[in-house]
Amino acid sequence: MSILTATLAERLIAKRYEKQGYVVTLEPPPSSIPFSLAGYTPDILATKGDEHILIEVKSPNARLNRDIYLSVDREVQQHPGWRFELVTVTGDELREPTVSDADRPTIGNIRQRLQVLKSLFNAPDVSGILLPQLWVAFVAALRLLADSEGISSEGLTDLSLLNKVYSQGITSIDEDATARRLLSLRNIAVHSLNPDITMEDCEELYQITHAVLERLQKSHT
């Protein structure tokens, strides 16, 4: 499976688990897994309540390293609430679009979402809940900005999107560093009951999302 096909496959499987009510993290950082996998990184971490699934996505013709997967499976089975799944994606599934034009948000949609989230800033103890929602708005805006610059964001994970817009000069060094730090906080927020996230972090994410929308607005005028 090519890098592009692998990315599309991972997003397809991620969407499937999200529809089942799981919180999904693509390319989960080691800090999100409370035990060692000896250097192995799963494609997806899906979480729902006390259930945690580490997922490896493969195409039907991909060569499998069974020893690695068996070793990972044995380790995961030792931890209650965790399991390992090897998921195969067919060629027919990959030919289906992962995001339709109807699903793609507009600048107006994102602005409305930001307004709703901003109205919650004065509520107590909401930073850990707000930040992941703000991150969704930021990524949606960044995808629109990339597309407006002629750079396809189709099938890219959040981290891959950050890499691409930085490498193409859309974001600066400082903007890239800020986005990566906030992505790390987002990952912590969705995997912790008491994340160490402040309203200042939420405000910063709100502001950089607003800045992306302003750039988009100017490019459309």
Return the ∠ at Cα 133 (arms to 189 and 147), rounded to 5°: 120
Compute the half-sphere exposure of residue 178: CA atoms within 13 Å on the CB side of its CA: 18
| 214 in the same domain as 105 | yes
Tens-digit pLDDT profile for residues 39-72: 888 989 999 999 999 999 886 666 667 788 889 9
Q: Collect all residues with Cβ–Cβ distance below 8 Å to 3 and sequence separation of at least 6.
A: none
Residues 79 and 22 placed together within one structural domain of the fold: yes
Q: How many helices (H) and strands (E) does the chain have?
A: 8, 4
Q: What string of pLDDT tens digits covers the 221 residues of the chain?
A: 333 344 667 878 888 888 888 888 988 888 899 999 988 889 899 999 999 999 998 866 666 677 888 899 999 999 999 999 988 876 555 554 444 444 678 899 999 999 999 999 988 888 888 999 999 999 999 999 998 888 888 778 888 889 989 988 999 999 999 999 999 999 888 877 777 899 999 999 999 999 999 998 887 66
With beta carbons less than 8 A apart as the criterion, state whether 29 and 45 touch: no
Domain-ending residue, one of 94, 112, 127: 94
Domain end, chosen from 76, 94, 112, is at 94
pLDDT of residue 220: 65
Query: What CATH number did the domain enclosing 31 receive?
Result: 3.40.1350.10
Per-residue tokens: 33:
């897994």
Cite the beta strand spans of 167-215 per DSSP E: none
Distance CA 153, CA 155 (A): 6
Whole domain around residue 168: which residue ranges?
101-219
Q: Whole-model pTM?
A: 0.57
Question: Which of 94, 126, 156 marks a domain boundary?
Answer: 94
